[in-house]
Amino acid sequence: MSNPKTEKRNFTSHDVAELAGVSQATVSRVFAGNTKVSEKKRKRIMEAAQKLNYRPNAHARSLITRRSMLIGIVMRTIRNPFYSAVLEIFHDRFSKLGYHLIFINSENENVEEWEIHKLLEYNVAGVIISDALLTQEAEDRFRENGIAVVLFNRYTENSENSVVFCDNYLSAKQIATYLVKTGHRNFAYISGPSHTSITMDRLRGFREVLDGRGISNLHIESGDYTYESGFELAQELMTKNKDIDCIFGGNDIIALGVMDAVRMLGFEVPNDVSIIGFDNIRMTNWASYNLTTWEQPLEGMVDNTVAILLDEINGKESRSKMLVMKGRLVIRNTVKSRK
């Protein structure tokens, strides 16, 4: 297992100190950003460090300070373009702040216990959970260890963690309103997994609007946020219910699947059926789709998530926050006015 032959010893702050003719403590002060060092010595130290290619050891540093510059980022379905974008933006922000990301792709909806443990072992400064949930036990564990946690784009009623997400209820209301206003009468909603907060909130909003207009024609199917699920469910739905005149997809990927299925069946979009998605991923803008969709304010959501996490890390805020952001409708070419 071990291989002493190739184990090269790095230079340490002691080596730098010796070369610069100062104490290790002073070297440490320079690299920890402590200002209490004379310019003369600082310069000598930096030169020596340069010569030796010295870099402080992050593990030793974390050990003594009991804090690390690591952030755990837990995601599901990184293959979903929306979350790829999320990861990219989080990386950009944290990287600029000097933090590093330990990436974990959880297979299950509930982040597994051992994955939590690993993050605890590394003394991560904070954790972001995206598109997944923590078990009560895991949540407690983080709390015990004083590790900040923010849920991104997902929440549960009983969680005590801070959470940032897009107002699903309101978005769905506005989407429904738009569809009603444009003269649609036979609705379908192909959602993500049915038990999640996202799905339920949207359904509530959607239904509320329809109820308000006395519309009861709402077909509901729940997929799993994949193209295939959207495709198959739409195919089934449109075969049985040829009078459906608009379909709301739980995310853009579903909506694209829906769109292809509907077209395969010979319907025209939007002439025969209107389709609307959610997220505003890049592909919605592709020429063959041009999907009307709901834009989640991704950058803003990430920025706020980062800000909240940092506040909690630095102990500025101990109460958990719930930040609900609004999005906006992006109108392209998949919804037609039927008035």
Partner DNA sequence: TAATACAATGAATACGTATTCATTATTAAT
Partner DNA sequence: ATTAATAATGAATACGTATTCATTGTATTA
Kindly list the residues in this chain that would bind DNA in the complex (CB under 7 A): 2, 9-10, 12-14, 21-26, 28-29, 31-32, 34-38, 40-41, 54-57, 60-61, 63-66
- Please state the closest distance from residue 161 (CB atom) to DNA, in A: 24
Phi-psi region of 180 (alpha: psi -120 to 50; beta: other; left: phi over 0): alpha
Q: Is 115 helix (H, G, I), strand (E, B) or coil?
A: helix
| Residue 24 site contact among its own copies, DNA, none (CB < 5 to 8 Å, cut-off depends on kind) | DNA
| Residue 28 site contact among its own copies, DNA, none (CB < 5 to 8 Å, cut-off depends on kind) | DNA
| Residue written as token pair 């993050």 | 119
Say which DSSP state 11 is in: P
Q: Which is nearer to DNA, 26 or 153 (CB)?
A: 26
| Residue 12 site contact among its own copies, DNA, none (CB < 5 to 8 Å, cut-off depends on kind) | DNA
Give the chain's count of helices (H) and strands (E).
12, 12
| Residue 26 site contact among its own copies, DNA, none (CB < 5 to 8 Å, cut-off depends on kind) | DNA
| Residue 332 site contact among DNA, its own copies, none (CB < 5 to 8 Å, cut-off depends on kind) | none
Q: Which of 120, 125, 25, 14 is nearest to 68 (CA)?
A: 125
Cis peptide before 297 (omega within 30 of 0): no
| Residue 146 site contact among DNA, its own copies, none (CB < 5 to 8 Å, cut-off depends on kind) | its own copies
Q: How far apart, in whole angstroms, are the C-alpha atoms of residue 115 and residue 319?
A: 25
- Please state the closest distance from residue 17 (CB atom) to DNA, in A: 7
Q: Which is nearer to DNA, 25 or 264 (CB)?
A: 25
Q: Which is nearer to DNA, 25 or 324 (CB)?
A: 25
Distance of CA 141 to the CA centre of its chain: 22
Q: Which is nearer to DNA, 38 or 194 (CB)?
A: 38
Q: What angle do CA 328, 333, 337 make, to 5 degrees?
A: 90
Q: Which is nearer to its own copies, 147 or 179 (CB)?
A: 147
Spatial contact of 122 and 102, defined as CB atoms under 8 Å apart? yes
| Residue written as token pair 């003369």 | 40
| Residue written as token pair 């906006």 | 328
Q: How far apart, in whole angstroms, are the C-alpha atoms of residue 169 and residue 202?
A: 5
Rule CB under 8 A: which residues touch its own copies? 1-3, 5-10, 53, 55-60, 62-63, 66-68, 70, 73, 78-79, 81, 84-85, 87-88, 91-92, 95, 100-105, 117-118, 120-123, 141, 144-146, 227, 231, 256-257, 259-261, 263-264, 282-283, 286-289, 314-315, 318
Spatial contact of 203 and 172, defined as CB atoms under 8 Å apart? yes
- Please state the closest distance from residue 60 (CB atom) to DNA, in A: 3
In this structure, what token pair is assigned to residue 95? 């990287």
| Residue 40 site contact among DNA, its own copies, none (CB < 5 to 8 Å, cut-off depends on kind) | DNA
Contacts of 84 (CB under 8 A, 6+ apart): 78
- Please state the closest distance from residue 135 (CB atom) to DNA, in A: 23
Q: Which is nearer to DNA, 22 or 138 (CB)?
A: 22
Q: How far apart, in whole angstroms, are the C-alpha atoms of residue 258 and residue 95?
A: 37
Q: How far apart, in whole angstroms, are the C-alpha atoms of residue 263 and residue 68?
A: 52
Q: Which is nearer to its own copies, 200 or 307 (CB)?
A: 307
- Please state the closest distance from residue 200 (CB atom) to DNA, in A: 42
